[in-house]
Amino acid sequence: MFDNLIFEDPGFFWLLLLIPIAAAWYFINRNRQLAELRISSVQGFKGQRSILPALRHGLFILRILALAFFIIAMAKPRSTDVTTRSSSTQGIDIVLSIDVSASMLARDLKPNRLDALREVASEFIKGRPSDRIGLVVYAGESFTLTPVTSDKAVVLRALEELQFSNILEGGTAIGMGLATSVNRLKDSNAKSKVVILLTDGVNNAGFIDPKIASELAVEYGIKTYTIAIGTNGMALSPIGVLPNGQFQYGMARVEVDEALLQDIAKTTGGKYYRATDNEKLEEIYEEIDSLEKTEIEEFTFTNFEERFRPFLLLGGLFLIIELLLRFTIFRSFI
């Protein structure tokens, strides 16, 4: 009943200081309230004691309670019910362009590069409820895994099922991955259009030059953040296929065309990052998340409900009870 209770005029609570003053005055003068009668002996009154004289102090307590509730009522208690409604005024369309070549199974990130990316990217997607997101994957060629959509469940499910597939041509077609991402965003009317392109290799496949894809991104106002994933030097990577179809792992040199990724980011107005471990990859996505914020308009509605009536009624009730007792049961003692 009294959840979220506030008082519009709390200054009236200063009047509560009258209560201890009144209590002190009553205590000092408690014996003067009764009429005195001098008699020679009280022998005839023995055995005639009544509890009513002792209970007369309850009248003062009732009056003090009435005063306290009247003061609370004067402070104008009210309960508040606050509701908010948020709306995205200017959303962002984002495409995650992900390298799914065999080298993404390298184990320099735990458990491997692809799984580490999947975990971090999932958290990134969950933290963008007001934006539309799509997935593009590429190796020697590229294709759209999910279109740009506001249905995060679809995107997260596709990302969860993402894995290396030998259906795609071998190699790393960075230009193709970027061009496909641009194609997904070019007709978007969003305030901001962003590609987050991740790779662990060099552009060695595909028929679209990465620089041309960068120029297309600039033409359509698409910003590109590039991420090179993998340690510097050597990493435990797939180097062959065993007779049972499983990958054979061995130490291989990590080759990432950082100059190309830096150029793509600079040309399109984005930023280049290097993720050498799981923690760094997580930090990168957190930074991109902070750089690309959607403007949210929030409306707050506050409903007030006056709550002084219960206090006023309680104060009145105690006052009425006190008056009734004073002029009935306790009439002979007051």
CA end-to-end distance (rounded Å), the chain:
39
Q: Do 137 and 143 touch, CB atoms closer than 8 A?
A: yes
148-167: average pLDDT: 85
How much is the pTM?
0.63
CA-CA distance, 272 to 196, in Å (whole number)? 10
pLDDT of residue 1: 53
Radius of gyration for the chain, computed over Cα atoms and rounded to the nearest angstrom: 39
Q: Which residue has the higher pLDDT, 293 or 99?
A: 99
Residue 199 has pLDDT above 70, yes or no: yes
197: pLDDT confidence band, cut at 50, 70 and 90?
A: very high
Q: Which residue has the higher pLDDT, 260 or 236?
A: 260
Residue 30 has pLDDT above 70, yes or no: no
Residues 6+ apart with CB under 8 A from 253: 233, 234, 235
38: pLDDT confidence band, cut at 50, 70 and 90?
A: low
User: Nearest Cα to 223, choosing from 252, 196, 183?
Assistant: 196
Q: Which residue has the higher pLDDT, 248 or 281?
A: 281
Mean of the per-residue pLDDT values for the chain? 84
Q: Tokens 């369309």 appear where?
A: 93
Residue/partner pairs of 81-84 with CB below 8 Å, 24 or more apart = 81/4, 81/302, 81/303, 81/305, 82/4, 82/300, 82/301, 82/302, 82/303, 83/300, 83/301, 83/303, 84/298, 84/299, 84/300, 84/301
pLDDT of residue 95: 97
pLDDT of residue 87: 55
**Burial profile 297-316: b = 16 or more Cβ within 10 angstroms, e = fewer:** eeeeeeeeeebbeebeebbe
User: Nearest Cα to 248, choosing from 258, 261, 238, 257?
Assistant: 238
**Cis omega before residue 129 (within 30°)?**
no
H and E: helices and strands count for the chain: 10, 11
Q: Of 38-47, 237-246, 248-257, which has the strongest mean pLDDT?
A: 248-257
| Listed range (153-162, 173-182, 260-269) with the worst mean pLDDT | 153-162
Q: Which residue has the higher pLDDT, 64 or 227?
A: 227
Q: Do 137 and 93 touch, CB atoms closer than 8 A?
A: no
Residue 334 has pLDDT above 60, yes or no: no
pLDDT of residue 40: 60
284: pLDDT confidence band, cut at 50, 70 and 90?
A: very high
Q: Do 271 and 196 touch, CB atoms closer than 8 A?
A: no
- The torsion angles phi and psi of 245, rounded to 5 degrees, stand at 90, -10
Residue 4 has pLDDT above 80, yes or no: no
- Percent pLDDT > 90 in the chain is 41
Indicate the DSSP class of residue 286: H
Give the three-state DSSP class for 87.
Answer: strand
CA-CA distance, 64 to 319, in Å (whole number)? 9
pLDDT of residue 142: 93
